[in-house]
């Protein structure tokens, strides 16, 4: 059995009402959906595909924090 790995997923809501999920540790790993349930399924699938395409390597990123700024 393959051991599970933990990834941080960032979730945002775009201007059209779609949830957008990104896995910062995996370059180009993101997806979107209208509901959070669908988004969770899709980001798991996207993560598996990204891992397969990168040969299982992931960047050693650790979430430090998230902030919003006004510019």
The count of domains in the chain is 1
64 pLDDT band (50/70/90 cuts)?
confident
Query: Mean pLDDT, to the nearest integer, of 16-20?
Result: 98
Q: What is the pLDDT of residue 57?
A: 63
Nearest to 21 by CA among 30, 34, 33: 30
Residue 56 has pLDDT above 60, yes or no: no
Please, what's the largest Cα pairwise distance for the chain? 48
Residue 21 CA, distance from chain mean position: 5
The pTM is what?
0.80
User: Where in the sequence is the domain holding 1, given as residue range(s)?
Assistant: 1-71
Q: What CATH code is carried by the domain that includes residue 53?
A: 3.30.160.250
Instruction: Give the pLDDT confidence score for residue 69 in this predicted structure.
Output: 87
Give the C-alpha separation, 12 to 22, whole Å: 9
Instruction: Look up residue 17 and give its DSSP letter.
Output: S
């Amino acid at each position: 059995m393959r051991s599970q790995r933990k990834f941080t997923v960032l979730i945002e809501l775009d201007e059209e009402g779609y949830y957008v999920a990104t896995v910062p540790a995996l370059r180009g790993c993101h997806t979107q959906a209208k509901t959070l349930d669908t988004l969770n399924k899709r980001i798991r699938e996207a993560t598996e595909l990204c891992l397969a395409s990168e040969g299982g390597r992931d960047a050693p990123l650790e979430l430090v924090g998230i902030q919003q700024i006004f510019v």
